[in-house]
């Protein structure tokens, strides 16, 4: 398929990955959504994640966040199976990011394994955890704990929607425990506010 030589495909993917994520977020936060709003919300979440997968700078955290958003949207639409599928994918990816970062977040790793750095990780590094981003927006900080906490939030929401209160409570507990790992007060409060809506 031929592309106009003046068209910057990478720039277009960067634009739509972030813009569609943020437009979807506006609909998530909208008090009353019309059926058209709901359809747009789902399409925006799907297209945002797709555009992320086409970017040259795709990182696992972008995938985890994209699947989290799709889980949230599907939960709002009452589609518990799709919500759970995306929540599980978000959690898998977040756990991989956590393992690769060689963090010792006890809520998600066995105590013995949490002390073992992942292959290729410089254990002498003094810099803090890498940042992740909401769309292409502001830094979220506290990277592994944040990703894991929000993946657990998605799981709690999906399990609650499916009527599995025990699993919902487990994932809420894990998310709250991970919230204690988040240093940035604004980031932590945003997470706690979202957990309160589950």
Q: Who's near 159: CB < 8 A, 6+ residues apart?
A: 84, 165, 167, 168, 171
128 located within any domain: no
Buried b (16+ CB within 10 A) or exposed e, 30-54: eeeeeeeebebbbebbbbbbebbee
Which range marks the domain in which residue 97 is found?
A: 9-115+133-195
Residue 175, domain CATH: 1.25.40
pLDDT (0 to 100) of residue 1? 52
114-162 confidence digits (pLDDT tens)? 333 333 333 333 322 223 334 333 334 467 889 999 999 999 999 999 9
Residue 2 banded pLDDT, cuts 50, 70, 90: low
40 located within any domain: yes
Q: Is the pLDDT of residue 59 over 60?
A: yes
pLDDT (0 to 100) of residue 173? 96
Is the pTM here over 0.85, yes or no? no
Number of domain units in the chain: 1
3 located within any domain: no
């Amino acid at each position: 398929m031929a592309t106009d030589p003046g068209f910057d495909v990478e720039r277009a993917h960067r634009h739509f990955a972030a813009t569609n994520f943020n437009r979807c977020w506006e609909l998530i936060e909208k008090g009353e959504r019309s059926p058209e709003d709901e359809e747009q919300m789902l399409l925006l979440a799907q297209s945002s994640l797709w555009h992320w997968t086409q970017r040259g700078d795709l990182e696992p955290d972008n995938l985890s966040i994209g699947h989290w958003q799709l889980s949230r949207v599907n939960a709002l639409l009452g589609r518990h199976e799709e919500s759970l599928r995306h929540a599980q994918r978000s959690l898998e990816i977040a756990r991989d990011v956590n393992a690769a970062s060689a963090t010792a977040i006890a809520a998600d790793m066995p105590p013995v394994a949490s002390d073992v750095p992942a292959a290729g990780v410089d254990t002498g590094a003094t810099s803090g955890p890498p940042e992740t981003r909401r769309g292409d927006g502001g830094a979220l900080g506290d990277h592994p704990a944040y990703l894991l906490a929000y993946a657990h939030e998605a799981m709690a929401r999906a399990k609650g929607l499916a009527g599995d209160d025990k699993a919902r409570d487990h994932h809420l507990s894990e998310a709250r425990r991970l919230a204690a790992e988040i240093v940035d007060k604004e980031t932590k409060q945003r997470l706690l506010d979202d957990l309160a809506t589950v």
